[in-house]
Amino acid sequence: MALGFGLVLASSVQTIASDDCSKLETTSKSPQLVRQNGAVAPDWARQLLEVVPGAESAPVAVNDPTDGASQQHKTLTSNLSPSQMLSHAKRLGGTELLEKWDRIAEVLRSGVPSQTPESPVRKAWADWAVSLSSLPELVRLSAIHQRVIEGILYTADIDSTGLPDYWETPCEVAESQTADCEGLVVWEYFLALKAGIPAERLFAVVGSLGNQEHMVLLVSRDPSTNGTDIVLDSVNRDPLRGTYLDGFKPLFYLGLNDIWLHRAS
């Protein structure tokens, strides 16, 4: 994402033509600086917490380095792996709690809708990802991350869609070949599934990096092989093993069927 949490933009409504069956009419409110139990988060995050009973009482990641609770979170993230942090997270409910993720998860769960016109570009990417299936997992993920970083042009939402904070579906990324950090994560999520990475180990992690909202893809460790967590972050060219990029603070974990809230204690 290219917008800082404190940047205020005018709300906008725009109809976006996409290749995933329909035209999307999306109302986007400007990201605003809000606090939830000491956490600085976008407005949609506060709204999500408000509709979940008990969620507001759960301590969450803190983005303000001047806040004393920030030190508590810093200690937690320095001592625990991404999988261990996820194990402490509070399940909020199904993906329908967050509409902007639910429409993406629906495509990821079921594949591209049958009524969607075939896209040669999307098919080429998907076939390539399937061809990686027999390779070691780290090799698959490294290949996916490198090709996405090189092949998809990073573009801020406001420049590509006219909206300040829009999350693209895999179909939309394939069609435009442009995306910001969320779109890159969504596209890597799609390709990882095609490459045979189990869905139950894949999570789009929303958090903050510096003063900006950010999203990364977490591939949690395979407990059967005592493996290592892998994090694909568009800021870093190579996959991260067993850790997030220094300074990244998770807030939500988005799975194919559920959403979890990060706990800071």
pLDDT confidence of residue 62: 37
What's the average model confidence in pLDDT over 13-32?
Answer: 35
Statement: residue 63 has pLDDT above 60: no
Instruction: Give me 17's structure tokens.
Output: 């033509």
Statement: residue 147 has pLDDT above 90: yes
C-alpha distances out from residue 146 to 168, 186, 228, 234, 241, Å:
20, 15, 19, 10, 15
Q: Of residues 191 and 8, which shows the higher confidence score?
A: 191
The pTM of the full predicted model, rounded to 2 decimals, is 0.78
CA separation for the pair 68, 109 (Å, rounded) = 40
What's the average model confidence in pLDDT over 51-76?
Answer: 46
What's the average model confidence in pLDDT over 15-35?
Answer: 36
Q: Environment class of residue 126 by beta-carbon count within 10 Å: exposed (0-12), middle (13-18) or buried (19+)?
A: buried
CB 154 within 8 A of CB 183: no
Q: How confident is the model at residue 157 (pLDDT cuts 50, 70, 90)?
A: confident
pLDDT confidence of residue 23: 33
Statement: residue 216 has pLDDT above 70: yes
In sequence order, what are the beta bridge partners of 214?
A: 207
pLDDT confidence of residue 263: 84
Is the domain 12-261 a CATH 3.10.620.30 member? yes
CA separation for the pair 240, 216 (Å, rounded) = 11
